[in-house]
A and B are shown apart, each in its own frame.
Chain A
């Protein structure tokens, strides 16, 4: 047969599962630029998640509550252990910390508006508290970060709670970097740094190391704020059992665990994808730590990282969390990655839904930017309304699932209401593989 016979049977071109086109493109990009890829967002790789769990609902042995008629409470109180003034939330969904600097002032205001309308809290980020955010947030959590940018006792006392950030899910053990193009005059002034320089956020706190020190740091924060504020300790998901145990030992009122799907404003892609564990894998471990200390529900657990819907909320609560926190989803609700900006996303070499160069400050949606012209595109009132709508829908969905399981409060959901669709999810969530009584690692069949 002639070698150039195009009609002859041939082997199809075959891509490697190891050297995929995506991998090859990254090798070429690295070889060309000499710099690792920095991006925003959380882990994009597929990991076991809440989608791999299902609720069992009511059946012969359980009876459901009537969909719209019977009460299903959603309120939650955070900070009941030591704080004189715990935070009362109407819904168990909070807004995660995102900085002014990473986000525009309009976006921060919108988060405050939406959260307040829904009866929940929002959270500052690295860079301090802005008047817009405080003014529009009925319940504002003030992050206490390694950089201490903008930290001061006046704002500390204005806060409704203090979140000591040890780490975040996108980069447990990593610091941050706000690139110079996002350092406007105002951002620079708030952080006491020159305009236009790349601002590093330290990976560990400057004046304490380890849980014994943290206990004293928390004592100091309580003394400064008259023991009024709930103190949260936020960790990136890595060793949830031990981290939770040590956070409780250090005196936390609330433990926040952020899984690897949790977003960041800017970090190396290799860090985001290869450090930390999935959200699903940390909840039962954290709850086990709280139970062992007899602190479950006394110290509240907030879980974040890839929460998208009321189903995710309900599943996290069923596994033992007291509340969840959303960041990426809240940004999308405001308008991030909206297809209406597709032409502009393409001009930036991306596409709507995949845009993650949040650190570059060129966000067409006006959210992850300090460019005044781009930021003007986001109407904080309208965006706040969208966030409120989204939070309402999530809450209604969580209530729907709770009622189906016969629960009159979403916090009454329990692991027994769940089964897993995959062996991996069953092992991580410690619920049986669907149709069996088998929980991998715990016996059964």
Chain B
């Protein structure tokens, strides 16, 4: 286990060190202490390493991650795991706005709640939230899965494309072109897989599925108001 004191050694040194790890590195376990809400912690990683951040982070923790598993023992600020390509971000606490924004792949697990616009423009990432998500979550969501074990706020899935949403609790309102859809066996199977991967104790049978009605896919003046 390598320990990195962010307060003493600085952000640049941390990211440079972690980004320098290659596919075959032996130094696979990294412990970051004193994060103190710093922005852009562990961004742009591209190796199968495990980074534990002992405390809360600012904006864009694990941004554009590839391969790495980042575990935050605290809360994360806006844009956690933004544009993640692969790997994992596990957040023990809550997440601020735009968690998982535009993510192309990998798994984002938020054990607490996520604020507004969770999964905005997601492009293939899987997101599992233990608690609730705020308004406009999965806005313009293109691909991937958003699992919400609690409730969803206003306008869930507004202008959604092909992403699939699973919510166990209530949905305050659905956004434009987002509808409830039939939960078929393949969806139960996928949801089961995601809950297991995230370590969430929830029964897939309790969830409802939401997705695109595909009525906005081609421009229609009657939808333009």
Contact = CB atoms under 8 A, between A and B. Distances in A.
B54 to A, nearest CB: 20
B124 interface: yes
B209 interface: no
B44 A225 contact: yes
A179 B219 CA distance: 8
Contacts of B39: 216, 219-220
B123 A223 contact: no
Given A152-B104, A192-B123, A220 B43 contact: yes
Contacts of B117: 206
B38 to A, nearest CB: 10
A198 B102 CA distance: 19
Nearest to B97: A207
A63 interface: no
Given A34-B221, A153-B64, A226-B16, A208 B142 contact: no
Contact of A202 (B59, B60, B82, B121): B121
Contact of B78 (A36, A194, A207): A207
Interface in A172-208: 177, 179-180, 191-194, 197-198, 200, 202, 206-208
B124 A192 contact: yes
A49 to B, nearest CB: 33
Interface in B15-60: 15-16, 19, 39-40, 43-44, 46, 58-60
B43 A180 contact: no
Interface string A143-165: 00001100111001000000000
A322 to B, nearest CB: 28
Which of B11, B64, B139 has the most chain A CB atoms inside 10 A of its CB? Answer: B64
B219 to A, nearest CB: 5
A194 B15 contact: no
Contacts of B85: 152-153
Contacts of B221: 34-36
A151 B39 CA distance: 20
A213 interface: yes
Contacts of B142: 191-193
B120 interface: yes
> Helix, strand, loop or mixed for chain A's interface?
loop
A202 B218 contact: no
Contacts of A191: 142
A81 interface: no
Nearest to B63: A220
A217 interface: yes
Nearest to A156: B64
A224 interface: yes
B64 A213 contact: no
B207 interface: no
Which of A147, A153, A216, A217 has the most chain B CB atoms inside 10 A of its CB? Answer: A153
A226 B13 CA distance: 10
Contacts of B102: 148, 151, 206-207
Interface in A217-275: 217, 219-220, 223-227
Given A153-B44, A207-B98, A208-B79, A224 B16 contact: no
B43 A223 contact: yes
Given A151-B102, A152-B64, A223 B15 contact: yes
A193 B140 CA distance: 11
B83 A152 contact: yes
A194 B39 CA distance: 34
Which of B58, B83, B143, B161 has the most chain A CB atoms inside 10 A of its CB? Answer: B83
A417 B217 CA distance: 53
A24 B121 CA distance: 41
B172 to A, nearest CB: 21
B44 A197 contact: no
A224 B161 contact: no
Interface in A15-37: 34-36
Interface of B: 11-12, 15-16, 19, 39-40, 43-44, 46, 58-60, 63-64, 66, 78-79, 82-83, 85, 97-98, 101-102, 104, 117, 120-121, 123-124, 139-140, 142-143, 159, 161-162, 217-219, 221
24 contacts: A148-B102, A148-B123, A153-B85, A179-B219, A180-B217, A192-B142, A193-B161, A193-B162, A194-B161, A198-B218, A206-B102, A207-B78, A207-B82, A207-B98, A207-B101, A207-B120, A213-B78, A216-B40, A216-B60, A217-B59, A219-B40, A220-B59, A223-B43, A227-B12
The 5 closest A-B pairs by CB, nearest first: A224-B44, A207-B79, A197-B217, A207-B98, A148-B102
